[in-house]
Amino acid sequence: MHFFASRGICSGDLSKESVIPRHGCLLLALPITATLSALSPIGATAETSSLATETAGYEVSNAFTIDSQNHSVSPTEGARAGDLLWIRPLRLNADEYLVLQRCKSADCADAQVVRAWNAYGAMGPLPILSNKIRMEAGATYLIWMQRIAIKGGGTFPKFQSVSAPLTFLPSGSDKLFAAADLEGARRRGPTPIAKARQEGRSFVATFQGGSVVRMQMLRAGSDPTA
């Protein structure tokens, strides 16, 4: 897993460094890394395919695979043109960020965070009006959780979309960056998944700490009008 903190080196004073990004500073990315592993399903419920139900022209699948090494979840079926992901966090703790990342190649060298959620809901910079995300054919999608504690409370409101594999780049005020426990986030890495199950038409993942996320993959049928 990769997590980047921004460290600023201000022009005119190259001998000093600050963890707080400032106006007129050159921002350097400090990676916190772990190896991206191959996906491996855990438990029969995580690998059982189900495309039996249909709604509004879409077949609904609750088949997702858990990577127990990187603590991420992915649809078991490969994405096709017109497919959708439906993701609904039921509850996130104040220091948690749920991340959806897209990889366009097998080695995930070309990755992008397409959506992220904090305790208040979907994060910026753009307004989000639906729990559905259109998938790109052939792309791999990773769903994972990152904890970043902030002294005194608070949460980052936005994120940057361009990133390396399993990388989350939050955006916020200087005050938030100063109070954020970035070193603690580096030590913890991605939040492990405590348990997972298929419940009705949804796949339900419960992360350590108790946060619950429901998800489905919607495969376009003959009349994709959802």
Written as six digits, the tokens of 107 are 């080695």
Type of residue numbered 93: N
pLDDT at 86 (0 to 100): 97
pLDDT at 22 (0 to 100): 32
Q: Are 62 and 53 in contact (CB under 8 A)?
A: no
Residues of the chain where predicted confidence (pLDDT) is lower than 70: 1-55, 222-226
pLDDT at 182 (0 to 100): 81
Q: Which residues contact 167 (CB under 8 A, 6 or more apart)?
A: 1, 2, 3, 4, 31, 101, 111, 113
pLDDT at 55 (0 to 100): 62
pLDDT tens digit string along 142-176? 999 999 999 999 999 999 898 878 888 899 999 99
pLDDT at 54 (0 to 100): 59
Annotated domain spans of the chain: 37-168+191-220
Q: What 3-state class would DSSP assign to 82?
A: coil
Written as six digits, the tokens of 183 are 């070193």
pLDDT at 180 (0 to 100): 95
pLDDT tens digit string along 51-62? 545 567 899 999
pLDDT at 9 (0 to 100): 27
Written as six digits, the tokens of 130 are 């639906």
Predicted structure pTM score: 0.76
d(Cα 114, Cα 184) in Å, to the nearest integer? Answer: 25
The alpha-carbon radius of gyration of the chain (Å, integer) is 18
Strand partners, 149: none
